[in-house]
Amino acid sequence: MVEGFVIGFLALVYGETSDFIKHSRKLMDKGYEWEYVGYTEVDYPPKSPAIIINRETNSHIYWKLRKPEK
């Protein structure tokens, strides 16, 4: 019973985030890296993929994919 719940939950999470994961991996193959940006309010639409934390009053991010400057 518990195993079924865990497997169902993991399938739901993967189904909801699979596009984000695929896009992030493509960018990482091109040289992008996850960078800690601290508490930052979200600019809509976001310019690069980020892990967005939604709150009732505002949305913010802590990590963002950026291409390192050479």
- Alpha-carbon span 23 to 32, nearest angstrom: 11
Rounded Cα distance, 34 and 46, in Å: 15
The pLDDT tens digits of the residues spanning 15-65 come to: 878 888 888 899 999 999 999 988 888 877 767 778 888 766 788 888 888
Confidence band of 70 (pLDDT split at 50, 70, 90): low
Q: How many Å apart are CA 59 and CA 54, to the nearest integer?
A: 4
The one-letter amino acid code at 20 reads F
Helix (H) or strand (E) holding 12: helix 2-29
